[in-house]
Amino acid sequence: MFICRRIIMNKLIIALLYLITVFNIPASFGGDKDGRYAIRGAGLLSCKTFLAERSKKSPAYMMIGGWLDGYITAYNKLQQDTFDVSPYASTELLSVVIGQHCKDNPDDLLGPVLGGILARLNKDRLDAASPFVTVKVGDYETSLYARTIQEIQTRLSRKGLFKGSASGNWDDETTAAIARYQKEIGYTASGYPDQKTLWYLFRSKE
């Protein structure tokens, strides 16, 4: 079962390389009076190096994943009214988004690239703690914040796809609404809230 899920996740990640909209990375905020700040660790790596290590799935790439988690944790702690800046996006998904940017900007440094991506995601952040809810659809299972589920239900309701109440609880109607949305955007209508589906739901213009 674990291997099956991993294979499916890998296929979704590969698909995202072709389907994700490329960010226009804004200037990072914070730093000194001129917006400058010291970059350390993996943040000093170029996009070209990142792509090379990612293609090899090298130990260096695995370390970059740890750096991404550390960066996001620090962002969550230091940004006002922020519990989780990427409540629906995993580290692996963010790596795909970075990779998409890096293909077109091989000389950019990872630090500013990730900072720009998180700035874009900031409007969908969780501003307060929220409990995790286990979501089971068929043979697949994941955990989502209750607040994230509530936002999913609200967005699907605005699209006329969800008829229930935005309770933050995952139910059969939410699964059916996700399936309707997946069918609408040309995905397999599984009803499972995979990373690709949630990315498009949250990043699409309503």
Q: Which residues are paired to 109 by β-bridges?
A: 46
What SS3 state is found at 58?
coil
Contact status, residue 16 vs residue 96, Cβ threshold 8 Å: yes
Beta-carbon contacts of residue 205 (< 8 Å; ≥ 6 apart): none
- Token output for 157: 């309701």
The CATH number fitting domain 132-203, selected from 1.20.1050, 3.40.50, 1.10.101, 3.30.160: 1.10.101
Q: What is the pLDDT of residue 29?
A: 52
- Domain residue ranges of the chain, discontinuous segments joined by +: 2-124, 132-203
pLDDT at 132: 97
Give the pLDDT confidence score for residue 27 in this predicted structure: 42
Mean pLDDT for each consecutive 10-residue tract of the chain (206 residues)?
A: 43 40 44 79 95 95 94 94 95 94 97 94 95 96 97 97 96 98 96 96 79
pLDDT of residue 22: 38
Identity (one letter) of the amino acid at 115?
Answer: G
Structure confidence at residue 9 (pLDDT): 45
Nearest to 16 by CA among 196, 200, 174: 196
